[in-house]
């Protein structure tokens, strides 16, 4: 048999020939026995500089300065490499004598790659404390810019990566890497991986470009891409960052995104860069800003966010990357700076473009457009998290103040919800997209593992509840009692009971003692609470566990001020929710001294976040509500516990807190759900994965949008019809007096109010339905089919019916100040609702969420199943849409008689909660069964011997010929070489064996494609 696997020597010879014959590099030879091999070959650099016309004294000074920076004894490799990079990129300033002009001598001609001396040497022996010999070194003008380690196709590429890493250690040859910008490791079977100085093994990257081209080894293909003269210099010049102690080179999608954005900038055209959460969006922002400022002399770059925290993060990221950025503290300061030539790089909040006290915003916008702000230069505006900041009045103000600015939006989540002025209309088309599933497949982020946990609840003593409620509300009329029930008889209040929250705390503490990454203290967790009040209660509960005394922190938007509680004391010797929050914060801030320019709360939060990021073994748990769930600098964690109803962008960004790669021992991000949100999680990731996906399985987000619009228009139009019918009997002229008479009679007479109560209830209920339906599509009226005139009439109708409801409530006296009863109702919830221990109800074990979605077909179901439901009512209960809709609470006012007694109301809600959990459990089981069936490929009537996915795939693709399928299975398993995928030589071994069985070349190629997709082969 002919030799199958090339040796490392043969692969190296082939690669050298590629550099010489196809890339045009000079061959310097085998430097195995050569003395004094260096990262700065002075003879070669001198020859290059002489060819550029520089004198010997100038060259001598250049060599001295370059060598001094490269070999500085009092700096580490990172700092030496950074100093050399500055000289490479910006040149070496040389002054031969006092009084003479300083001249900057360029070591590399970046603008004309062909004028440089590109060369390659092999077996470069490095004499240090311990001798090493890199396989290949790439020199440009005698300066070592890249090192390449090659391995045989049967040896893991990881060996080459680890060799590159160890070579950079001080006991080996760290000195040589002070000039190196890229390091490569490759073999024939796995292709090529790349990194730079200081890159750890897990962060070595795989290039992606022209993936369909399979004409040669991937190693050769990507060396041709990355080491082409123009590309290599471009990558070094425009795409290298020194970021807070870490040197970074671009991932493929970052390179592509920046290149596309450069073209848009040159064309003075805006657009949107959508790179999924965790994929390095901030690096794209920094690289693009640097390029614009360097290539456009009159350019200014303004980075706009909608949150103060993100504004500060933007500033810190640019400063960390060595870019000076000016942060505007006020609107006037921002406008003043924009009118001047400097600073060229600024950041600000979108709120700085507004105007305080503007009663008529439309008039304000017209004034701005008539006389916009004077800006100096060519202004480029980067809008971070543009799915939020693109909408609203403040954005309109920004556009009006700078009508000629180029707007580039950045987002990590897709733009599903169209505003009247959609994101695409504001910014232009998509510049580049990088989908969630691409990032997982590329290893840029981790996949997610989901687990649902249910906590059953029950009412303790209905009789005692009745007695307690009657005693506390003896002074209220029936309507006021009903209002109190409606306020406190909600699902959220049941779920915030002390007993249930205690069980959640116990469950999390248990996880910290049994889950490997939490137990090892390499990972930590975040708990998302539904409100600031609940977050405070959770914090207090955790102070009674092992997660106390600096191991758990509370981070919300609240900061305690005395004015918060000045109107909270009801004189009943009880504590309202606001008082509890205030006292909790006062307690946790004890011992915290405010840092300069910050409040005590800000100082506390900064310290907690720093510990959470840098010392996970110390700061184990953060309790949050909204903060830290969004933004590129939000901390990552291993576990995210969700005890809050979330959806859409907020949910997607929150779960992405866990998918960051932050350690060698982290394989997944874990989502623990106490709110039965799986369907929403699936839909979020499915849509965010498939939007703009051109593949046949790609989901059209318009299906979701149109389904929502149609259904909400039906509700909206129906509510308007009901209200018109309800009010048609009101006497003319239809003023306040006539409406009060119709809905209240004489408000001073109890009998009149009682008699007309059904009309009022119908008004209240239908108006609530109208407001919900209108709120759901207020930003999509045009897409929902309303023209401008219809929209204006609709807005007037909504406004009129809302005012009518308020008028009738006031006239009938059907309103109540609930503050005085807050503490008593909280006591009822805490005392009489009991919770059982949590139980796991999602039977997915370690199935990653992305795999779960792909296997079950949720992304396709969004497109197909929702259409089918319209014609198949029986299937509604079995679909995801039904699970989402089942989360909608019943309205307490729909049947007031039923909710007369407080205990009946509470029992109804608890029963609904329990029933929903059981239905949800069945739903999860059905999905798990489907995942199992699809994963195994097991259909009805398949022979028992076909007991693996590979065998069944062969059987299905060979005309259900069992004997032939088993023969092919046995042949492949007997003949397959190790690591054969992507290696044409090894693949041909399998194809030759298949031909012996099939005797048909076309059939061999067809079946081989099936075999290649089966992991068992």
Angle formed at CA 414 by CA 413 and CA 415, multiple of 5 degrees: 125
Give the distance from CA 843 to its chain's centroid. 26
Q: How confident is the model at residue 419 (pLDDT cuts 50, 70, 90)?
A: very low
DSSP 455: -
The residue ranking higher by pLDDT, 846 or 284, is 284
Residues whose CB falls within 8 Å of the CB of residue 46, separated by 6 or more in sequence, listed in order: 59, 63, 142
Q: Which of 625, 432, 641 is nearest to 524 (CA)?
A: 641
The residue ranking higher by pLDDT, 872 or 646, is 646
Q: How confident is the model at residue 103 (pLDDT cuts 50, 70, 90)?
A: very high
DSSP per-residue string spanning 378-399: EEEEEEETHHHHTSSHHHHHHH
Residue pLDDT, tens place only, 825-868: 555 555 555 566 666 655 544 444 434 444 444 334 333 333 44
Residue pLDDT, tens place only, 449-464: 778 787 776 556 566 6
> Which residues are registered as beta bridge partners of 380?
301, 406
**What was the pLDDT predicted at 16?**
97
**What was the pLDDT predicted at 140?**
98
Point out the least confidently predicted range of 611-615, 750-754, 892-896, 1011-1015.
892-896
Q: What pTM was estimated for this model as a whole?
A: 0.64
Helix (H) or strand (E) holding 840: strand 839-840
Token pair for 230: 């123009």
Would you tell me how many other CB atoms lie within 10 Å of the CB of residue 296?
Answer: 16
pLDDT above 70: residue 81: yes
**What was the pLDDT predicted at 834?**
59
Residue pLDDT, tens place only, 111-135: 999 999 999 999 999 987 788 899 9
Summary mean pLDDT of the chain = 77
Q: How confident is the model at residue 870 (pLDDT cuts 50, 70, 90)?
A: very low
The residue ranking higher by pLDDT, 634 or 206, is 206
**What was the pLDDT predicted at 566?**
54
pLDDT above 80: residue 484: no
Angle formed at CA 162 by CA 156 and CA 163, multiple of 5 degrees: 100
In which residue are the tokens 């048999």 written? 1
Mean pLDDT of 468-492: 60
What are residue 127's phi and psi, to 5 degrees? -95, 105
Helix (H) or strand (E) holding 104: strand 103-105
589: left (phi over 0), alpha (psi -120 to 50) or beta: alpha
Cα–Cα dist 950/960, whole Å: 13
Cα–Cα dist 205/234, whole Å: 18
Q: What percent of the chain has pLDDT over 70?
A: 69
**What was the pLDDT predicted at 710?**
74
Which of 75-79, 402-406, 946-950, 963-967 has maximum average pLDDT?
A: 75-79
Residue pLDDT, tens place only, 301-348: 988 876 555 556 566 666 655 667 887 777 777 778 888 888 888 888
Residue pLDDT, tens place only, 754-763: 888 888 888 9
Q: b/e map of 571-607 (b: 16 or more CB within 10 Å)?
A: eeeebbbbbbbbebbeebbeeeeeeeeeebbebbbee
Residues whose CB falls within 8 Å of the CB of residue 335, separated by 6 or more in sequence, listed in order: 373, 401
The residue ranking higher by pLDDT, 785 or 845, is 785
């Amino acid at each position: 048999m002919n030799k199958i696997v090339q040796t490392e020597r043969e692969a190296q010879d082939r690669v050298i020939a590629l550099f010489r014959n196809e890339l045009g590099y000079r061959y310097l030879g085998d430097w195995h026995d050569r003395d004094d091999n260096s990262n700065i070959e002075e003879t070669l650099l001198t020859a290059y500089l002489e060819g550029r016309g520089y004198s010997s004294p100038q060259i001598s000074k250049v060599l001295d300065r370059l060598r001094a920076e490269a070999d500085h004894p009092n700096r580490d490799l990172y700092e030496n490499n950074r100093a050399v990079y500055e000289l490479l990129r910006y040149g070496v300033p040389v002054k031969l004598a006092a009084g003479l002009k300083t001249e900057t001598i360029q070591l590399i001609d970046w603008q004309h790659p062909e004028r440089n001396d590109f060369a390659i040497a092999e077996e470069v022996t490095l004499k240090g404390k311990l001798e090493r010999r890199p396989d290949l070194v790439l020199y440009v003008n005698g300066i070592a810019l890249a090192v390449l380690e090659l391995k045989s196709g049967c040896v893991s590429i990881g060996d080459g990566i680890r060799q590159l890493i160890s070579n950079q250690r001080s006991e080996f040859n760290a000195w040589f890497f002070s000039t190196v910008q890229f390091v490569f490791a490759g073999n024939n079977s796995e292709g090529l991986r790349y990194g730079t100085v200081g890159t750890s093994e897990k962060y070595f990257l795989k290039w992606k470009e022209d993936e369909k081209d399979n004409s040669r080894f991937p190693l050769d293909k990507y060396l041709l891409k990355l080491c082409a003269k123009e590309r290599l210099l471009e990558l070094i010049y425009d795409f290298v960052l020194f970021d807070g102690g870490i040197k970074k080179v671009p991932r493929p999608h970052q390179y592509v995104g920046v290149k596309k954005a450069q073209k848009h900038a040159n064309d003075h055209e805006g657009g949107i860069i959508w790179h999924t959460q965790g994929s390095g969006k901030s690096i794209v922002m920094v690289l693009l800003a640097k390029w614009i400022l360097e290539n456009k002399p009159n350019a200014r770059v303004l980075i706009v966010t909608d949150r103060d925290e993100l504004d500060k993060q933007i500033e810190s990221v640019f400063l960390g990357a060595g870019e000076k950025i000016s942060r505007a503290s006020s609107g006037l300061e921002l406008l003043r700076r924009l009118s001047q030539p400097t600073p060229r790089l600024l950041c600000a909040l979108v709120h700085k473009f507004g105007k305080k006290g503007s009663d008529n915003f439309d008039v304000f916008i017209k004034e701005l457009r008539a006389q916009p702000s004077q800006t100096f230069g060519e202004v480029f505006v980067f809008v971070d998290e543009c799915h939020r900041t693109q909408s609203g009045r403040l954005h309109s103000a920004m556009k009006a103040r700078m009508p000629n600015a180029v707007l580039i939006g950045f987002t990590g989540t897709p733009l599903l919800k169209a505003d009247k002025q959609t994101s695409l209309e504001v910014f232009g088309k998509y510049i580049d997209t990088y989908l969630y599933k691409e990032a997982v497949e590329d290893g840029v982020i981790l996949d997610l593992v989901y687990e649902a946990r249910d906590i059953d609840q029950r009412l303790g003593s209905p009789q005692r509840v009745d007695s307690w409620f009657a005693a506390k509300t003896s002074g209220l009329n029936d309507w006021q009692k009903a209002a109190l029930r409606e306020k406190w008889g909600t699902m959220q209040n049941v779920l915030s009971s002390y007993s249930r929250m205690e069980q959640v705390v116990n469950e999390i503490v248990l996880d910290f003692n049994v889950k490997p990454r939490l137990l090892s203290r390499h990972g930590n967790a975040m708990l998302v609470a539904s409100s600031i009040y609940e977050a405070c209660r959770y914090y207090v509960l955790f102070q009674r566990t092992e997660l106390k005394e600096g191991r758990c922190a509370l981070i919300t938007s609240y900061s305690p001020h005395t004015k918060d509680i000045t109107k909270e004391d009801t004189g009943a010797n009880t504590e309202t929710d606001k008082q509890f929050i205030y006292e909790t914060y006062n307690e946790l801030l004890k011992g915290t001294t405010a840092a300069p320019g910050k409040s005590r709360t800000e100082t506390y939060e900064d310290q907690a976040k720093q510990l959470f990021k840098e010392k996970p073994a110390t700061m184990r748990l953060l309790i949050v509500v909204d903060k830290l769930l969004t933004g590129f600098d939000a901390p990552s964690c291993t576990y995210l516990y969700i005890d809050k109803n979330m959806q859409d962008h907020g949910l997607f960004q929150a779960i992405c807190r866990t998918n960051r790669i932050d350690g060698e021992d982290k394989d997944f991000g874990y989502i623990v759900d106490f709110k039965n949100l799986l369907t929403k999680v699936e839909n979020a990731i499915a849509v965010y994965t498939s939007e703009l996906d051109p593949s046949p399985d790609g989901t059209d987000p318009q299906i979701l949008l149109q389904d929502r619009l149609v259904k909400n228009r039906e509700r909206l139009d129906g509510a308007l019809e009901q209200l018109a019918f309800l009010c048609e009997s009101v006497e003319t002229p239809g003023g306040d007096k006539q409406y009060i008479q119709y809905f209240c009679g004489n408000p001073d007479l109890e009998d009149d109010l009682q008699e007309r109560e059904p009309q009022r209830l119908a008004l209240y209920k239908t108006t609530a339905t109208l407001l919900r339906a209108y709120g759901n599509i207020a930003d999509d009226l045009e897409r929902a089919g309303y023209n401008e005139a219809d929209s204006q009439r609709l807005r007037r109708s909504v406004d009129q019916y809302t005012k009518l409801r308020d008028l009738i409530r006031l006239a009938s006296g059907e309103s109540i100040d609930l503050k005085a009863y807050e503490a008593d109702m909280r006591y009822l919830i805490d005392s009489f609702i009991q919770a059982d221990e949590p139980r796991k109800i999602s039977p997915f074990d370690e199935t990653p969420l992305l795999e779960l979605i792909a296997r079950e077909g949720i992304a396709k179901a969004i497109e197909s199943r929702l259409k089918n439901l319209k014609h198949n009512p029986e299937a509604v209960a079995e679909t995801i849409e039904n699970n989402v809709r089942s989360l909608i609470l019943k309205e307490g006012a729909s049947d007031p008689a039923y909710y007369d007694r407080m205990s009946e109301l509470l029992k109804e809600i608890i029963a609904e909660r329990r029933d929903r959990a059981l239905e949800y459990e069945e739903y999860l089981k059905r999905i798990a069964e489907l995942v199992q069936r699809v994963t195994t490929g097991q259909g009805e009537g398949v022979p028992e011997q076909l007991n693996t996915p590979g065998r069944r795939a062969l059987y299905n693709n060979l005309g259900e010929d069992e004997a032939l399928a088993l023969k092919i299975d046995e042949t492949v398993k007997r003949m397959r070489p190790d690591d054969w995928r992507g290696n044409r030589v090894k693949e041909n071994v399998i194809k030759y064996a298949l031909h012996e069985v099939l005797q048909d070349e076309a059939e061999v190629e067809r079946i081989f494609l099936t075999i290649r997709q089966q992991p068992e082969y």
